[in-house]
Structure 1
Amino acid sequence: MNDLSLSIAPHRIGAMILRYWYLLLSSWPRLLELMYWPTLQIITWGFLQTYIASNAGFFARAGGTLIGAVILWDILFRGQLGFSISFLEEMWARNIGNLMMSPLTPLEFLLALMTMSLIRLAIGIIPMTLIAVWFFDFNFYSLGLPLVAFFCNLIFTSWAVGIFVSGLVLRNGLGAESIVWTLMFALMPLACVYYPVQVLPHWLQLVAWSLPPTYVFEGMRALLIDGTFRADLMLTAFGLNAALLLASFAAFIALLRSARRAGSLLSSGE
């Protein structure tokens, strides 16, 4: 795998996607897990919002903000996890060394992981949104075109984080695997998923506004509560995501080179 090459061969990307797709279909627990946690989340938080809405005027007026936040958070988290799990499958199978010696380029590898991220995300999110309609009368798709901006920004952030943590695991081995599961949760309080930015202390607000997801969740609340689509928030988020994706790709290449120098590609254990 030539880490300097930016050329793209669709047939190599397709081969990697097909590999991950067969791997996914070969195990029904993998498929079940993709739907289980999003379903559990929407049911738990949906009933909580139903209770709050019947006992608090604000949440009755801002109906759907909690369920909407749960769905958007799951897009962010599952997007990153879908990317990283496909990468970890190669680590667990001790197949990284084989891929690195193949004609597959880093960009092709990452594009295949991004595609699998979308496939895994669709398997989990679509049932989740349908349950939101059936159980709680919240149609996530009624957000309309703003939903496209919300989704794109969140998936771009999830890919940036996924690329970065995959590079860390590539360089440090499976001993660094825990960061795949924990990093996004560390960002969760600062992304202001369930509450507005104003809740945070002033100095933390500055940190929160440096994260693209913060703009998405603020935009979602503005749309559901005030009926206003904040295009300015989405454009800022797109700009931040572009910078994050470039930085994450550069970090992945640097960590790949470091792993090669350290000889850790063929000994990617604990």
Structure 2
Amino acid sequence: MRSLVANLELGHGLAWHRISAMVLRYWYLLLSSWPRLFELVYWPALQVITWGFLQSYVAQNAGFFARAGGTLIGAVILWDILFRGQLGFSISFLEEMWARNLGNLMMSPLKPLEFLIALMIMSLIRLAIGVVPMVVLAMTLFDFNLFGFGLPLGAFFCNLIFTSWALGIFVSGLVLRHGLGAESIVWSLMFGVMPLACVYYPVAVLPHWLQFVAWTLPPTYVFEGMRALLIDHQFRGDLMLWALGINVVLFVAAFISFLAMLNSARRHGSLIQSGE
């Protein structure tokens, strides 16, 4: 029976025991360093406190913002889900690069898709460690209940996490192909997306020509949907469907590009070197 479970396959030769082994490896690595755990909680807590007090000030001094003030702290939390989802994925990947272990993994029976699924699971674990205290602080200090969104929160979360994984897969492929010299893109790409995703303001604020670019990004639909929910008390299901459709395209494109860059790295020998 144990042998049967150990050899259980998840469609097309994917093995859960290999995926769970990789997740367990990253989990032990995370637990072995308290600074890693502390950082996961510290930055989200700092953000929610800073922006929460800003929201309190705006709500007390302007009628409109008093009505729509929750959009600020709501945007902060949703943005952190997007940012930390991508960062949690990429950090686990970079830890293999830093340990110069990626070549060993790619020569093992571990399949690229199994490796990516393990990174996605670790992304969720890291995200939970950082965001849960953030949500509790928002409820305790500023009386903002993220779960008050109800079922739309599920649509917001799924679209944001799918975008973060697509970007994580893409930047991991770039680092895989070009080495740790391209590591900075892991930290900078998401902040480049932030102004166009209209996290803290509506799309209408952007110049007309730039609005077309903004609407090509799935997070834009999520943040517009959040504002519609908080200000107009209306759930825009059409926006979520558009975001999901674009996410599917991004995810497939990111996976194909990752495989292409992995094959290129194998041909050029950069899997073994993986340096600057």
TM > 0.5? yes
Return the match for 1:110 from 108, 116, 126: 116
Aligned to 1:92: 98
Gaps of 5+ in 1: none
Aligned to 2:203: 197
Tell me, in whole angstroms, the C-alpha distance in 2 between the residues paired with 1:107 and 1:43: 38
Tell me, in whole angstroms, the C-alpha distance in 1 between the residues paired with 2:65 and 2:15: 50
Return the match for 2:264 from 255, 258, 266: 258
AA aligned opposite 1:268: S
Does 2:133 align with 1:149? no
Return the match for 1:30 from 36, 39, 42: 36
Aligned to 1:58: 64
Aligned to 2:255: 249
Tell me, in whole angstroms, the C-alpha distance in 2 between the residues paired with 1:254 and 1:109: 15
Matches within 5 A, 1:117-266: 117-266=123-272
Tell me, in whole angstroms, the C-alpha distance in 1 between the residues paired with 2:160 and 2:250: 12
Tell me, in whole angstroms, the C-alpha distance in 2 between the residues paired with 1:268 and 1:136: 46
Tell me, in whole angstroms, the C-alpha distance in 1 between the residues paired with 2:12 and 2:117: 12
Tell me, in whole angstroms, the C-alpha distance in 2 between the residues paired with 1:6 and 1:206: 39
Tell me, in whole angstroms, the C-alpha distance in 1 between the residues paired with 2:69 and 2:19: 42
Tell me, in whole angstroms, the C-alpha distance in 1 between the residues paired with 2:154 and 2:55: 24
- How many angstroms does 1:58 deviate by? 1.0
Indicate conservation of the 8 Å contact 1:156/1:245, yes or no: yes
Q: Percent identity?
A: 78
Whose RCO is larger (CA < 8 A, sep 6+)?
A: 1
AA aligned opposite 2:272: L
Indicate conservation of the 8 Å contact 2:58/2:69, yes or no: no
Tell me, in whole angstroms, the C-alpha distance in 2 between the residues paired with 1:74 and 1:268: 29
Give the structure-1-normalised TM-score.
0.98
AA aligned opposite 2:255: F
Say which SS state the counterpart of residue 108 (structure 2) adopts: coil
Q: Which runs of 4+ in 1 moved over 6 A?
A: none
Say which SS state the counterpart of residue 190 (structure 1) adopts: coil
Aligned to 1:15: 21
The alignment yields a C-alpha RMSD, in angstroms, of 0.8
Range moving further from structure 2, 6-15 or 114-123: 6-15
Tell me, in whole angstroms, the C-alpha distance in 2 between the residues paired with 1:18 and 1:88: 16
Tell me, in whole angstroms, the C-alpha distance in 2 between the residues paired with 1:6 and 1:215: 34
Tell me, in whole angstroms, the C-alpha distance in 2 between the residues paired with 1:34 and 1:102: 30
Indicate conservation of the 8 Å contact 2:177/2:270, yes or no: yes
Q: How many equivalent pairs are there? A: 266
Tell me, in whole angstroms, the C-alpha distance in 2 between the residues paired with 1:174 and 1:195: 35
